Structure 1
Amino acid sequence: MAERMLKFTTVERTTPPKRSAATRSGDFHEIYADFIDAKAREQASRCSQCGIPFCQTHCPLHNNIPDWLRMTAEGRLEEAYQLSQATNSMPEICGRICPQDRLCEGSCTIEQSGHGTVTIGAVERYLTDKAWEEGWVRPLVPGRDQGKSVGIIGAGPAGLSAAERLREMGYAVTVYDRHDRAGGLLIYGIPSFKLEKDVVMRRTQRLADGGVEFQLNFEVGLDATLDELRETHHSVLIATGVYADRDLVVPGAGAAGVTPALDYLIASNRAGLGDDVPEYASGQLHAQGRDVVVVGGGDTAMDCVRTAVRQGAKSVTCLYRRDRANMPGSAREVAHAEEEGVVFEWLAAPRAVLGEAGMATGVRAARMRLGAPDATGRAAPEEIVGADFEAPADLVIKALGFDPEDLPRGLAAPDLAVSRWGTVKADFRTLMTNLPGVFAAGDIARGASLVVWAIKDGRDAADAIHRYLTEPARVAAEAR
């Protein structure tokens, strides 16, 4: 092992080839190529195999990263893939969209020593893409029939990862989703230049081939109430995600040309999938030839600015009220956006949307400075009096984050308990809500978070449902 590993002092960190900004800005294809076999082995060999693998402990799924890196370096690629997927339902998706700079790679020991982190995400993606090519991804095989069924509301990453695990345990699983394709934000929220849709579709097809039933275009609360699903299934998992956009509360925010981020991204993704999208075709949700201002500093804001570039926007500006160091989005995504021509106005907050005849024409913004920490411990932005400026904008995109929808009303379940933030309350030990047999997982229980956390929550929820259906007395005791 020593001959194959610990090469971080002699082998420099290398990422897979990245298309130039000028080339990639004209299409929605992924910007990175895959590693070739030799380069993946070389980069994996940089791992220090440290005794306390911070990369693993800082991964929400606690993936066995040092072990599958060693296997990759040794050319044991199928074994490396099998170990990678043992803890992760979608390793090739996490390899593409996880903010590794904030998780595994950001915690890499050799990164802290100044040698540059191991390219963990790129190797993870490479292993699973290779597995699909070589036929190492095995069909989903149901376990011994449990004679019980589980209904899952939501076909996003939490719902899909729970469905896979429950089917492997032998449960009949039905996934209900209001969209016409399974995948949730993986399909409709994340742009294809980060995650091409065939990558998601092959995962959902594997589930369908393994016996998971998908009821699409199905609105729980309209087509069936939560109580009706509880009568149909032995257990129900709520994994709807959070979709309510936070509003922009400034004068002029109701003008035409001001739109929520998710509406904009869904329109773009649907058009890319070949759907008829009137708001996109009419230009209402299309950035071509327009001055675009995106308000927000998270990953969704980065998705919006980079989508606008690819749609041929005249200019793209991102307003964020804190500085670059305090931006919640991935630093890597910010760098990609800057390469593609996005202008960042740091320490800037909108004061008003300017307009004529009800149409947005610009944004007036205040310059900010960072003051004392707020309740979260982050430096609170304060307005600098008399330092306003204006940016032209006939398309203003609100990317201020997401809150839960009103689920008790939406699911026709008035007794469902929610927190003061609107998230579904679930017991932290059993993951069950106040309704017996009803569980919650992902953003709807946690609050808006990362895909990797949704995958972990879905897998944990599947295990919790299995305990409930096989050991009800034990679960009841834990819930007391």
Structure 2
Amino acid sequence: MLKFVTVERSMPEKRLATERNKDFHEIYAEYANEKAKEQAGRCSQCGVPYCQSHCPLHNNIPDWLRLTAEGRTKEAYELSQLTNTFPEICGRICPQDRLCEGNCVIEQSGHGTVTIGQVEKYLTDTAWEEGWVEDITPAEERPESVGIIGAGPGGLAAADMLRRAGVQVTVYDRYDRSGGLMTYGIPGFKLEKDVVMRRNEQLEKAGVEFVMNCDVGTDLSFAAIRGKHDAVLIATGVYKSRDLQGPGSGAQGIVRAIDYLTASNRKSFGDDVPEFESGELNAEGKRVVVIGGGDTAMDCVRTAVRQGATSVKCLYRRDRQNMPGSQREVANAEEEGVVFEWLSAPKAFVGDPVTAVKVQQMRLGAPDASGRQTPEEIEGADYDEPADIVIKALGFEPEELPKLWGVEELSVTRWGTIKAEFTTGRTAMDGVYAVGDIVRGASLVVWAIRDGRDAAEAILEYLDGGEKAIAAE
């Protein structure tokens, strides 16, 4: 250990932009065993591991880095999966630059952070290759059943833990494949789909029942699900896109990010996607403008490049330093040919179908209540940006679940998210829990996994009579 003074930070080899922007394969190669040991050995084994405390799952990062450095790869994997249901997924898509790696002690001292995410990915990928990932086999079956609405990371993490405890689990989802945004939202160049599918297969093999193409409130009522199961977990995520305002915002050619990314991912599965074939959700040969500065916007611009767009531009109303998306993703996008127009916001849209975005140039003014500087318009500073397709990537909001499901007693916040205890996911309705983005608002996959695991523990306590006893007191 402690090699950070003499050994430099080294990421796995990244495919050339001119090569990777033509396909949807992941852009980073895998560490070789010796390279993984070398990079794990850079960990300083500090007394206060900020990497661990800033990880939502509080993964025991220093210990599994030490085991990796010592060549004890299987032990390192076993330790890493004790706190994380999907470590190979987090290793690929977590914004480590804002979480564990961004708080690495040696990074603060100028030596370059330990490549925690890449080592985490290496450990579990190796475990799958070597057959170390064991089937989920409960020691004893339980008679209780839990219904989980939503097959995203939060719901699947809870399903994993509950099934390991012997609980009978049924997962309901509106899509035809489980995985939520991991399947249909995140592009393959960040998370190849076989990585998600093998986890789905593991859960199916373990006895988790999946009821797909099931739109709760339409195909099946919430009351029916609640009546069938001893407890219910709501893990629907947030899929309602924030909309654009301004003249021409309803023009043909202005599309939602979730529709655009879903169409692209469906094509990667070989599905028939009429909206893609018609060109409505296909950027090939088009001038593309993406509006937004989060990770979804980065997914959209990089997808458009791979589809063969003639130009791809991203408008964001603040500057680079204040954007919410990963700086690593911005750098990857720039390498692939994306042009970022900072301090720029859409003012109006020209044509129907759209032919241009009228762009208003901005400057940063006084800080708002959160401390971020508020964008202000620069009077007279606007221009037309040619566009054949405009993708709205402005974030997501919760659907009105009490109204859609006919469950008025399901309490929500003023933002429309479900009111639930953050530590347990428990709602005011007996035996009903909620986790992930439908509680937090749009957030990270790793937080959904954390919430799903916490809720699973609370549900097991409830099934054992613990929470009922507490409530009775």
Contact 2:420–2:434 under 8 Å retained in 1: yes
Aligned: 1:375 with 2:369: yes
Residues in 2 aligned to 1:475 and 1:348: alpha-carbon distance in whole angstroms: 53
Q: Secondary structure at the match of 2:340?
A: strand
Counterpart of 1:473?
A: 468
Pairwise mapping of residues 377-416 of structure 1 onto structure 2 (< 5 A)? 377-416=371-410
Q: Which of 3, 9, 26 is equivalent to 1:13?
A: 9
Counterpart of 2:348?
A: 352
Contact 1:143–1:167 under 8 Å retained in 2: no
Q: Secondary structure at the match of 1:129?
A: helix
Q: Which of 353, 364, 376 is equivalent to 2:358?
A: 364
- The one-letter amino acid paired with 1:263 is D
Shift of 1:300: 0.0
Counterpart of 2:38?
A: 42
- The one-letter amino acid paired with 1:36 is A
Shift of 1:410: 2.2
Shift of 1:475: 3.9
Q: Secondary structure at the match of 2:279?
A: coil
Counterpart of 1:269?
A: 265
Residues in 2 aligned to 1:430 and 1:75: alpha-carbon distance in whole angstroms: 37
Counterpart of 2:127?
A: 131
Query: Any gaps of 5 or more consecutive residues in structure 1?
Result: none
Counterpart of 1:213?
A: 209
Residues in 1 aligned to 2:39 and 2:472: alpha-carbon distance in whole angstroms: 49
Residues in 1 aligned to 2:233 and 2:145: alpha-carbon distance in whole angstroms: 11
Counterpart of 2:23?
A: 27
Counterpart of 2:176?
A: 180
Aligned: 1:59 with 2:55: yes
Pairwise mapping of residues 187-202 of structure 1 onto structure 2 (< 5 A)? 187-202=183-198
Residues in 2 aligned to 1:162 and 1:137: alpha-carbon distance in whole angstroms: 18
Aligned: 1:463 with 2:472: no
Q: Secondary structure at the match of 1:92?
A: helix
Shift of 1:429: 5.1
Q: Secondary structure at the match of 2:52?
A: helix
Counterpart of 2:438?
A: 444
Of 224-233 and 84-93, deviating more is 224-233
Contact 1:286–1:311 under 8 Å retained in 2: yes
Give deviations 1:266-299, integer Å, cap 9, x for gaps: 0000011111000000100000000000000000
- The one-letter amino acid paired with 1:70 is R
Contact 1:96–1:195 under 8 Å retained in 2: yes
Contact 1:365–1:390 under 8 Å retained in 2: yes
Q: Which of 233, 236, 242 is equivalent to 2:232?
A: 236
Shift of 1:430: 4.2
Number of positions where the alignment pairs a residue of Structure 1 with one of Structure 2: 472
Contact 1:296–1:398 under 8 Å retained in 2: yes
Q: Secondary structure at the match of 1:161?
A: helix
Residues in 2 aligned to 1:140 and 1:409: alpha-carbon distance in whole angstroms: 37
Task: Supply the RMSD in Å over aligned alpha carbons.
Answer: 1.0
Contact 2:425–2:451 under 8 Å retained in 1: no
Q: TM-score, normalised by structure 2?
A: 0.99
Shift of 1:389: 1.9
Contact 1:55–1:108 under 8 Å retained in 2: yes
Contact 1:177–1:216 under 8 Å retained in 2: yes
Shift of 1:183: 0.4
Q: Which of 250, 257, 260 is equivalent to 2:256?
A: 260
Contact 2:288–2:304 under 8 Å retained in 1: yes
Shift of 1:434: 1.9
Residues in 2 aligned to 1:196 and 1:141: alpha-carbon distance in whole angstroms: 27
Residues in 2 aligned to 1:447 and 1:428: alpha-carbon distance in whole angstroms: 12
Q: Secondary structure at the match of 2:462?
A: helix
Change (3 A) 1:198 1:390: same
Counterpart of 1:318?
A: 314
Query: Any gaps of 5 or more consecutive residues in structure 2?
Result: none
Residues in 2 aligned to 1:475 and 1:343: alpha-carbon distance in whole angstroms: 56
Residues in 2 aligned to 1:24 and 1:280: alpha-carbon distance in whole angstroms: 21
Give deviations 1:80-100, integer Å, cap 9, x for gaps: 000000000000000000000
Q: Which of 402, 424, 430 is equivalent to 2:418?
A: 424
Q: Secondary structure at the match of 1:22?
A: helix
- The one-letter amino acid paired with 1:409 is K
Residues in 2 aligned to 1:428 and 1:242: alpha-carbon distance in whole angstroms: 17
Shift of 1:406: 1.1
Contact 2:398–2:441 under 8 Å retained in 1: yes
- The one-letter amino acid paired with 1:458 is G
Contact 2:81–2:87 under 8 Å retained in 1: yes
Contact 1:242–1:402 under 8 Å retained in 2: yes
Report the identity percentage. Answer: 67
Q: TM-score, normalised by structure 1?
A: 0.97
- The one-letter amino acid paired with 1:162 is A
Contact 1:151–1:229 under 8 Å retained in 2: yes
Contact 1:100–1:121 under 8 Å retained in 2: yes
Contact 1:317–1:343 under 8 Å retained in 2: yes
Residues in 2 aligned to 1:31 and 1:202: alpha-carbon distance in whole angstroms: 20
Q: Which of 55, 69, 78 is equivalent to 1:73?
A: 69
Give deviations 1:114-162, integer Å, cap 9, x for gaps: 0000000000000000000000001011242221000000000000000
Contact 1:368–1:381 under 8 Å retained in 2: yes
Contact 1:158–1:458 under 8 Å retained in 2: yes
Change (3 A) 1:223 1:474: same
- The one-letter amino acid paired with 2:165 is M
Contact 1:467–1:475 under 8 Å retained in 2: no
Residues in 2 aligned to 1:265 and 1:311: alpha-carbon distance in whole angstroms: 11
Shift of 1:414: 2.5
Give deviations 1:336-386, integer Å, cap 9, x for gaps: 00000000000111101111xx21001111111111111221111111111
